[in-house]
Amino acid sequence: MAIGDISLTSSARANLTALQSTAKLLQQTQSHLSTGKTVSNASDNATAYFASKGFLNAANNLSAVKSNLSTALESVNSFDNSISAVTSIVAQLQGLATQALGSTNTTTRLGLASQFNALTQQLDTLVNDATFNGTNLLNSSSATLVVYFNATNTTSLTITGVNITSAGLLTSSGAAASSGWANTTDIQASQSYLLTALSTLTTDAASFGGNATLIQTRQDFTSNLITSLQNASSSLVAADTNEEGANMQALQAQNSLGIVSLGVSGTLAQAILKIL
């Protein structure tokens, strides 16, 4: 039956229209409460929807940057820890040189020199094993690690490697106990190299520590920026659950009244027909 074939009173039609409008608003409010959003797609509010997506995309891009910063920070901290281990070995080497200098026995000096040479080899093994994520910044001054700070890779930090192998720290002539330390001057030369080595290690540790602090600062900055972008995205599309809950109660009451009003309109129409 066509709509035009149905005869409704003006009051009944007005009540029916109001009830349909209330039902539509109820459905919309239920959607807001279930999704937590007032804007779920472009048809709801194109400007807010696409602006929100833009903020969210930027946040997602920065999340990848943050992950890379985390890896870079672990790398730098690993290198810093390795420098500390090398420093401990150099301290042991100093102890051997001191013992040798305090002895005039050629056999004793030869034994200590042998230990010195073996320990320098262990130092090299440690440095060459200090590879993290495929990069070793401790066995070559030509190695580099580039840390990017933004999603477009336009801001970065380049960390240059150092050579703290025995040859790099003590030079090729000082990396071994010369002539079995038979001569006091050879021992003193080793001690001199070791003092320089400790100074170099202190400088390198400070440099890596400073880089780690900078990366940590940028990681915190990126994390805060991600939160700000997510909040900006949410503020454009998120629903106020308190407001939507109040709307729901009001619309439910309005819907009930609309049904009652429609019923009253029908009752009145029936009463008029009975009179006729």
Q: Where are the domains of the chain?
A: 3-36+245-275, 47-236
Task: Look at residue 57 and tell me whether its pLDDT is greater than 90.
Answer: yes
**Beta-carbon contacts of residue 205 (< 8 Å; ≥ 6 apart):** 80, 83, 84, 87
Phi, psi of 164 (to 5 degrees): -115, 30
Question: Does 1.10.3720.10 match the CATH number of domain 47-236?
Answer: no
Proportion of the chain above pLDDT 70, given as a percent = 69
Q: What is the mean pLDDT of residues 52-80?
A: 94
Nearest to 83 by CA among 168, 158, 148: 168
| Ramachandran class of 36: left when φ > 0, alpha when ψ lies in -120 to 50, beta otherwise | left
pLDDT tens for 136-166 read 999 999 999 999 999 999 999 999 999 999 9
pLDDT tens for 174-232 read 668 888 899 999 999 999 999 999 999 999 999 999 999 999 999 999 999 999 999 89
For residue 255, CA distances in Å to 9, 28, 240 come to 20, 14, 22
Nearest to 167 by CA among 193, 142, 185, 188: 193
pTM surpassing 0.85? no
- For residue 59, the one-letter residue type is A
> How high is the pLDDT of residue 229?
94
Task: Look at residue 37 and tell me whether its pLDDT is greater than 70.
Answer: no
Phi, psi of 159 (to 5 degrees): -100, 120
Confidence of residue 77 (pLDDT cuts 50, 70, 90): very high
> How high is the pLDDT of residue 1?
43
Residue 160: beta bridge partners? 144
For residue 16, CA distances in Å to 8, 190, 269 come to 10, 101, 14
Nearest 5°: the CA angle 206, 211, 216 is: 125
